[in-house]
């Protein structure tokens, strides 16, 4: 009985915030049940990005192979993910610093119309790939957002999770987030 109420609350929150397709629920259930959840996505560090052919916002099919030749930043996100939205201004800043020298790609399980509607209200200056639910399952269990930094051969060098939360208001975790990504990108150029 002691597990029923937290499980109910967790599932209700997942449905109400649109995280149904997010594996965060499974991670949360493991945590409630007392086991230590692990995010499978981290096993891809130092491995080549799994290949994909995904749809962009215009319905064109884009291959992961087209990203080769430049360092690449891939952000995994969705429109009702508060931490995803919180880091967008920082990701936009990073993108503006590197523009044509680095590929900036956002991948989501959501459909074209949902993403286009969202982007009319909130700028996210990455190249968007949508309807990617099956591809995202390749990475197993993980919570959103995740930012993958790849070399020019699509080897995943680093995975950043959401902005770190702190009670200390003098600590700007956005600076740490940007510096971590910028430092790695600078070494790749």
43-80 pLDDT per residue, tens: 999 999 999 999 999 999 999 999 999 999 999 999 99
Quote the pLDDT of residue 165: 62
Calpha distance 128→50 (Å, rounded) = 17
Calpha distance 123→145 (Å, rounded) = 16
For residues 45 and 32, membership in a common domain is answered with no
For residues 32 and 45, membership in a common domain is answered with no
Q: What token pair was written down for 3?
A: 């597990």
For residues 82 and 10, membership in a common domain is answered with no
Strands 53-56 and 61-63, sheet pairing: antiparallel
Quote the pLDDT of residue 39: 80
pTM attached to this predicted model: 0.79
For residues 16 and 74, membership in a common domain is answered with no
Quote the pLDDT of residue 184: 94
For residues 21 and 53, membership in a common domain is answered with no
User: Which positions of the chain have pLDDT values less than 70?
Assistant: 1-38, 164-173
Q: What token pair was written down for 64?
A: 């992961």
Quote the pLDDT of residue 37: 55
For residues 62 and 5, membership in a common domain is answered with no
For residues 18 and 101, membership in a common domain is answered with no
Domain that includes residue 28, residue range: 1-37
For residues 143 and 162, membership in a common domain is answered with yes
Which residues partner with 128 through β-bridges? 106
Quote the pLDDT of residue 136: 95
For residues 129 and 166, membership in a common domain is answered with yes
For residues 54 and 22, membership in a common domain is answered with no
For residues 26 and 59, membership in a common domain is answered with no
**How many domains is the chain partitioned into structurally?**
2
| DSSP for the chain, written as a single string | -TTHHHHHHHHHHHHHTT-TTSTHHHHHHHHHTT-----GGGGGTTSBPPP-EEEETTS-EEEGGGGTTS-EEEEE--TT-HHHHHHHHHHHHHHHHHGGGSEEEEE-SS-HHHHHHHHHHS---SEEEES-HHHHHTT-S-PSPEEEEE-TT-BEEEEEESPPP-S-TT--HHHHHHHHHHHHHHHH-
For residues 95 and 126, membership in a common domain is answered with yes
């Amino acid at each position: 009985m002691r597990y029923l109420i937290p499980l109910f609350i967790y599932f209700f929150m997942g449905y109400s915030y649109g995280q149904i397709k997010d594996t965060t629920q499974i991670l949360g259930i493991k945590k409630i049940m007392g086991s230590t959840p692990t995010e499978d996505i981290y096993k891809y560090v130092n491995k080549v990005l799994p290949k994909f052919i995904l749809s962009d916002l215009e319905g064109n099919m884009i291959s992961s192979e087209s990203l080769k030749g430049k360092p690449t930043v891939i952000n995994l996100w969705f429109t009702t993910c508060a931490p995803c939205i919180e880091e967008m201004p920082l990701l936009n800043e990073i993108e503006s610093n590197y523009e044509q020298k680095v590929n900036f790609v956002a991948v989501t399980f959501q459909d074209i119309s949902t993403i286009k509607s969202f982007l009319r209200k909130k700028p996210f200056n990455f190249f968007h790939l949508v309807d990617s639910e099956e591809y995202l399952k390749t990475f197993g269990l993980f919570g959103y957002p995740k930012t993958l930094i790849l070399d020019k051969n699509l080897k995943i060098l680093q995975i950043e999770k959401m902005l770190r939360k702190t009670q200390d208001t003098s600590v700007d975790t956005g600076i740490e987030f940007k510096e971590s990504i910028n430092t790695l990108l600078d070494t790749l150029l």
